[in-house]
Structure 1
Amino acid sequence: MGITRISPTKGNLIATKKSLDLAKLGYELMDRKRNVLIREMMMLVDKVKTLRDEITFTYEQAYLSLQQANISLGVVNEIANTVTIENGVHVVYRSVMGIEIPNVSMDESDVAFQYGFTESNSKLDEATILFNKAKRLTILLSEVDNAIFRLARAVQKTQKRANALKNIVLPALKEDIKFISEALEEKEREEFTRLKVIKNKKAQAALQ
């Protein structure tokens, strides 16, 4: 049974056929949008794995350098306290099929060694550079992770709407068209039969 049992008129048949065409177009657009979002998401999923591997390796190297700096310099807490808090992170958004995707950036600047050269050595400098690199990679990872989450949620919503069109709306409209068409055909047959009876009666009356 269709969504509603409408009156079987020619006007309703034309309107329902137009609704069916629009629903088909809507489904095609939804399916196209879903495919674009999935393709975008899968590209980012591949990027996440690469980023995670690079971050892990960078942190390992950074902590190794920091450990070696600790061994040669002693505790470096006082030096660490001279590092300023990062406030140069910015977020803007780009649109992918109407979905707002974050683009996180950090002010580009050379690594500033905020300690005296007499208080450090090459390992501490190396650790500083590596931790700065890890920070930038982590910011990039947060951007990609958030984008994947937003895209996945959009894919789910788009898929749900596409399924509703495919499994509920389209079959219902097709059934309504079938119902109206059959009802109109039946009405035409009845009208044809009625006119034929009238014609026969007139013919018989003319012979009498």
Structure 2
Amino acid sequence: MNTENRYPVTASLFMLKEIKHRQEQVNRGYQLLKRKAEALRIRGRQAASELASTQAILGHILREAYISLAAIKFTNGESNALVLENIGQAQIRVQRISENISGVSTISLQALEETGVCDSMRYAGLGAGGHRTTEAKKAFREAVRTLVKFASLRNTCILLDESIRSTLRKVNGIEKVIMPKLRNTETYIMMEMDEREREEFHRLKMVKAKKVKSQARAFLRQTVSAGGGGETGEADEAEPGAPPRHHSVECLTSILACSSLTTTTTDSGDFKPVCYPHNWDDDDLLF
């Protein structure tokens, strides 16, 4: 397996448990990020629709405010110098309100009108055009409130857009990079552990075959030596019911001559000897 598509880990049971634990954590974080991105999208659509409607209203309000200002100039002449001379405290202030949207900190602006502040231009237009002056004041107050709302919505849309892009990058990174690497790492560990198990199984079979072969050779030597002693008259009588000695010798000779104690592979990939000694018991097996 390509090492670039997996993490460099050692194939062990502990590492397999660790990779599975990481997969659970990554899946949990992936689901949370997807929910966060969806919530930010919904809030972003709401803010965008409010921003579009506020922008349309703002254009109409500003147009009416400047029309009323033009009417004052036509009635009373230039009054810029008078306004600049009578500037005092602001009657409309902007309040910053912190807001948390699915883990994203945003700041909304709210216009607050202070009624207790003295209006230095409350007597403007008493001689002529007082009605026009009052209408212009109201129009520009409404324009300031709308501008503050527009600025707040625009700031919220910008922050939400950046947060959505960052969250989607994280989601795509987890989905396209981290999760495939974890799956490939788990597959690699499983393959390596299965391969080690097959090698250990084959090693045990070879050890058992070698042990049986050495026992058969030792028994054959004893049998041959015992047979030679019988010819000189020193061999004991055969026990009743025991198989003939020449049959045992032939069987052991066939075991030693059998080249099938070497292993072959089957279709399933397991190693199996072609032939086994006929006198094997379950207690003799090491595996």
State the TM-score, normalizing by the size of structure 2: 0.67
SS at match of 1:93: strand
Q: 1:115 aligns with which of 115, 122, 133?
A: 122
> Where does structure 1 lack aligned partners over 5 or more consecutive residues?
none
How far apart in 2 are the matches of 1:66 and 1:113?
A: 18
Q: Does residue 1:91 correspond to 2:96, yes or no?
A: yes
**Correspondence for 2:134:** 125
Residue of structure 1 in register with 2:199 after alignment: 190
Aligned mate of 1:151, from 155, 160, 164: 160
Moved over 6 A (4+): none
Alignment partner, residue 11 of structure 1? 14
What whole-Å deviation, never above 9, does each CA across 1:43-87 have from its counterpart, x for those lacking one? 100011111111100011111112122222222324433354536
Does the 8 Å CA contact 2:5/2:181 hold for their aligned counterparts? yes
- What's the % identity of the aligned pairs? 20
Q: Distance in 1 between matches of 2:181 and 2:162?
A: 28
Compare CA radii of gyration and give the structure with the larger one.
Answer: 2
Compare 57-66 and 194-203 and name the one that shifted more. Answer: 194-203
How much has 1:202 moved relative to structure 2? 3.7
In 1, the alpha carbon distance for the partners of 2:199 and 2:122 equals 99
CA distance in 2, matches of 1:180, 1:39: 42
Pick aligned residue for 2:64 from 55, 58, 61:
61
SS in 1 for 2:126: helix
Could you tell me whether the CA contact under 8 Å between 1:79 and 1:115 is conserved in 2? no
Equivalent residue number for residue 264 of structure 2: none
Instruction: Give unmatched runs, 5+ long, in structure 2.
Output: 220-287
The reply to whether residue 102 of structure 1 matches residue 110 of structure 2 is no
1:76 to 79, 94, 102: 79
Say whether 1:200 aligns with 2:182. no
Counterpart of 1:103 in 2: which secondary structure?
A: strand
1:85 & 1:144 partners in 2: Cα distance? Answer: 27
Where in structure 2 are the equivalents of 1:1-40 lying within 5 Å? Answer: 1-40=4-43
**Counterparts of 1:43-58 in structure 2 under 5 Å?**
43-58=46-61
Report the TM-score, using the length of structure 1 for normalisation: 0.90
Change (3 A) 1:58 1:113: farther
What's the CA shift for 1:41?
A: 0.9
Q: CA deviation at 1:37?
A: 1.0
* Structure 2 Cα separation of the partners of residues 185 and 3 of structure 1: 18
Task: Single out whichever of 84-93 and 12-21 deviates more from structure 2.
Answer: 84-93
Cα distance in 2 for partners of 1:2, 1:171 equals 8
Give the Å deviation of 1:204. Answer: 4.3
Following TM superposition, by how much is the alpha carbon of 1:109 offset from its aligned partner in structure 2, in angstroms? 4.1
One-letter code of the match for 2:184? E
Q: Select between 62-71 and 174-183 the one with higher mean Cα deviation.
A: 62-71
Question: Which protein is richer in helix relative to its size?
Answer: 1
